[in-house]
Amino acid sequence: MNSMNLEIIALVVEFCGWVLVCCTLPIDYWKWSVLDGNIITTAVLWCNLWKSCFTDSTGVTDCRDLSSILGQERHIQACRGLMICCVTLGFFGAIFALFGMRCTRIGGTDTTKAKTACVAGGCYIVGGLCSLSAYSLYANRITAIYFDPTYTDQKYELGSPLFIGWSGSVLCIVGGSIFCLINGKDSKPKR
């Protein structure tokens, strides 16, 4: 398989990973819990990075936005920042990738295109590491509270967006690594 086909595969892999990460941001149920009781009083509590909600047994949902930046817990602030960095780096990585790929006619000489493609791969690798860190930090906080026997408040469980985000982060890192490996040797000027 030639390097142009590998570049296209790497672009598709990293872009799919970036889309998965972006899709997890607005998804609810990053963490969730059920208040058990009789059928009438059963409720579901769920949160993500932006809001905290309560759904009762009749299906009525009451949400509270987590709008204060400085009033939130530190891990929420860190996760928000890391996720915003990932989305931004993925956006710029896609632009650099389109300019740096061998199959496009814009971007300059082969050496310049290879350097631009390496920058794109680096953006995706760093973005994937940022989102992987955010999901892991959020999950670590949930599991630490869940397994703490002295914690008496409501305990939460991991939600599906964390698992989707982990897989998207890995795809970003793998696609960016392939991009860098393919173009790394071509980015050095010929003597």
What is the full per-residue pLDDT of the chain (191 aa) written as tens digits? 677 888 899 999 999 999 999 999 988 889 988 877 665 657 888 898 888 888 887 788 888 887 777 778 888 999 999 999 999 999 999 999 988 888 888 767 888 888 999 999 999 999 999 999 999 999 999 999 999 999 888 889 999 999 999 999 999 999 999 989 988 766 565 55
Q: Is the Cβ–Cβ distance between 169 and 24 less than 8 Å?
A: no
Token pair of 16 as six digits: 């799919």
Closest CA to 104 of 117, 123, 88: 117
Closest CA to 174 of 12, 3, 2: 12
- pLDDT for residue 170: 97
- pLDDT for residue 42: 77
Convert 57-72 to b/e letters by CB count within 10 Å (16 or more is b).
eeeeeeeeebeeeeee
- pLDDT for residue 143: 94
- Cα–Cα distance measured from residue 110 to residue 114, given in angstroms and rounded to the nearest whole number: 6
Computed on alpha carbons and rounded to an integer, the radius of gyration of the chain in Å comes to: 21
- pLDDT for residue 112: 87
- pLDDT for residue 40: 60
Residue 49's contacts (CB-CB under 8 Å, 6 or more residues apart) are 25, 30, 66, 76, 79, 80, 83, 138
- Cα–Cα distance measured from residue 178 to residue 157, given in angstroms and rounded to the nearest whole number: 34
- Cα–Cα distance measured from residue 45 to residue 31, given in angstroms and rounded to the nearest whole number: 8
Closest CA to 65 of 51, 80, 77, 54: 51
Q: Is the Cβ–Cβ distance between 139 and 159 less than 8 Å?
A: no
Q: Is the Cβ–Cβ distance between 180 and 125 less than 8 Å?
A: yes
